[in-house]
Structure 1
Amino acid sequence: MIEDKVNLLVKNSNNLENVKSSFLAGVFKKCNALTLTLKGLEADVYQINNCIDIIKTNSGVLSNFRGNNLLTTAVNLSILDNPEESFNEFIIIYEKLKKHFYTNEFLVLASQIIYNYKNERSVDEIVVDTRKVYDLMKENHLFLTGQEDICSAALIATTCDDLNSTFTDMERCYSILRKNGFWSGNNLQALTHILSLFGGTAEEKCNKMILLNNVLKRSNTHIDGYSLPILGVVALTTSDYDKFSKDLESVNKVLKKQHGFGNFSLGSSLRNIISASLICVDSLESDKDSLSYKIIETTKNISLNIVMIMQIAASSAATTASIAVSTSNS
């Protein structure tokens, strides 16, 4: 039930307020509360604090595992069986990525994405493929592709068998959507990254995107800007767009009344990401026979990546929001 997920989200958000070393991590707390909620887990403050200690003990003061990534990494570690061993593996993968990319904070989340596939494919192979995917992104959109796209590159690298076909599909989606009212730019590119993870032709996927977008416009509920990747997940995993629109408005109203989820503290865009994520996953769990579930099951277990897609979008959004706040205060 969506009500249960909303209640768990609020509880997780409140629990994360008690985590140490995170007094400036407001938006990150909400995004990590979402990550735990989508996995049906309650935040374990004691374990998260323990994982923060592990990170601080095993990384330097200026490490990219600190700062914006400290809470996210600690939360991800807290749900693993052996956090200290896992963190060491995070670092190893991170160091491998640094050989292919300039050092930046997005490599931290990319290392954790790759970690989730370490038993399925060689880590070295995935790291090399991540760079290949990123280079193809830059080849197609040199000035749009930035460090934040490394996370999507890592996810594509773990799920894609044919890069040429994937990028042909991606560019076709970009062209179709741009001609149908979607603004060209980084957000549209990020959306096409997500669409490439799903089955179906570019035309089929874009038609669903356009239909969902029109439904949301009629209801005056917009998912745009850096929220666009979530719209792609919803369009391809939800069949009743009118119901989704009503549920989105309903969940938004409930969350807006909760501490830390209002327009001033969180903002409508990030709240839309959170609300849409809860509704999307709840829909998938509730209707195992739905068309959306069948699409997901036939697309390289993309259901296992839904939370990861949400986490990438939420983390990128949180980083963007954090930078905006820092700039306005300077």
Structure 2
Amino acid sequence: MNDNIRTICENFITNRDAVKKAFSLESEHMYAASACTLTAAGVTADADSLKACKKALKKGTSVISNLRGMIEQSAAVRLYISGEPEEYLRKTLACYDIIKKELGRSEYTSLLALFMADMTDESGAEQAAVKAKDIYKLMSKDHPFLTGSEDKVMAGFMALTDKDSKTLCDEAENCYKLLKKRFSSSNTLQTCSHVLAMADGSAEEKVARVARLYDLLKESGRKYGKNTELTALTALSISDADEKALVDTICEIDDFLAEQKGYGMLGFTKQSRLMHAAMLTSAAYQHDTALSDAASTATTVAMIAAVEMAMIAVVICTTTTTAAAASN
């Protein structure tokens, strides 16, 4: 393991522990997502500063704000990364006021506003929101039963690229159909197809690269997950880096994580651990892409958002299951 990869791994653990101190008694899945977001941003967090951002968020929003609740931790982390929590929150709320006019109110559109505040100004957010609404309508037309509020986040990122709405959705549909021949989790594959649609190259080439990474991991003795985990591997596939080098890095990070607290027999599953390894590999290779600067930024942040959405979905599912069990 080279020094850069080791530093990323160690920062991830430090960030995870800091987030756990700042947000006690919350989901381990969200702790991992937040730690990855911090690590990908190249920062090492401390609990006290995260708590201060959490306080700034509560001071600047009402108790019924969609920036609170399920995505509160994600919001506080983004405020911390900005280095200017109050100003970042102001920009986020301004973006949300714009976005909700086109995409409605929800925690997912609030999540989109958080990222949009970091990637464009209010004028850009307005243009992106109008285009995102058009993209979302096309998504819903292609997959009326699969498309939900979470897809508005990806529509927002797709809207920031130079490709027109129809081209993006046609490309996403082509990728989806090809992915479906190999994998089965429809909701996850829809998200994966949205990420791939933003990248250059043919649908066949992009999907084949995802499949090769999956197969190389299998050949290395690692059974990578085919559900929410696939989102991280798809985002990683966009890197121009050598496929074997990417897989070797995932395996090295996976070995490192296996020795860390929280990844033992009573911690994350091996598939979740591999997903975290893929996420951290993306952090290491995120600047090595074939995309233009604007598209690269959108796709990199889209990967982080997609993983956070996957984590939120896990939390919601776990909460629902627990509540149902308690009522019986």
Partner of 2:101: 99
Aligned to 1:233: 235
Q: Deviations over 1:216-264 (max 9, x none)?
A: 2333421421122222222221543334333323322321332234464
Structure 1's unaligned 5+ residue stretches are 286-292
- Provide closer, same or farther for how the CA distance between residues 54 and 283 of structure 1 changes in structure 2, counting only shifts above 3 A: closer
Q: Deviations over 1:65-98 (max 9, x none)?
A: 1122111111111122432122122122223332
Change (3 A) 1:103 1:268: farther
Q: Is the 8 A contact 1:113 1:155 kept in 2?
A: no
1:125 and 1:81 map into 2 onto residues whose CA distance is: 26
1:294–1:144: structure 2 CA closer, same or farther, 3 Å change rule?
A: closer
CA contact (8 A) 2:239 2:289 kept: no
RMSD value, Cα: 2.3
Structure 1 residue 41: Cα displacement: 0.5
Aligned residue identity for 1:312: A
Q: Which amino acid aligns with 1:41?
A: V
Distance 1:42 1:307, change over 3 A: farther
Paired residue total? 319
Distance 1:237 1:150 in 2: 24
- 1:235/1:311 CA distance change after superposition, 3 Å: closer
TM-score (norm 2): 0.88
Partner of 1:162 in structure 2? 164
Compare 139-148 and 220-229 and name the one that shifted more.
220-229
Identity over aligned residues, as a percent? Answer: 25
Distance in 2 of aligned mates of 1:71 and 1:265: 21
Unaligned runs of 5+ in 2: 324-328
Post-superposition Cα deviations, 1:39-83, rounded to whole Å, max 9, x if no partner, equal 211113333222211111122223221122111111111122432
Paired letter, 1:16: V
Match for residue 327 of structure 1? 320
Question: Equivalent residue for 1:136?
Answer: 138
Check conservation: 1:65, 1:105, Cα contact below 8 A: yes
1:13 aligns with 2:8: no
Question: What residue number does 1:76 align with?
Answer: 78
Residues 263 and 200 of structure 1: CA distance in aligned 2, closer, same or farther (over 3 Å)? farther
Query: What's the CA shift string for 1:110-163, capped at 9, x where partnerless?
Result: 101221232395321111112111111111111111111111111111124312
TM-score (norm 1): 0.88
Q: Which amino acid aligns with 1:185?
A: S
Q: 2:289 & 2:100 partners in 1: Cα distance?
A: 38
SS of 1:103's partner is coil
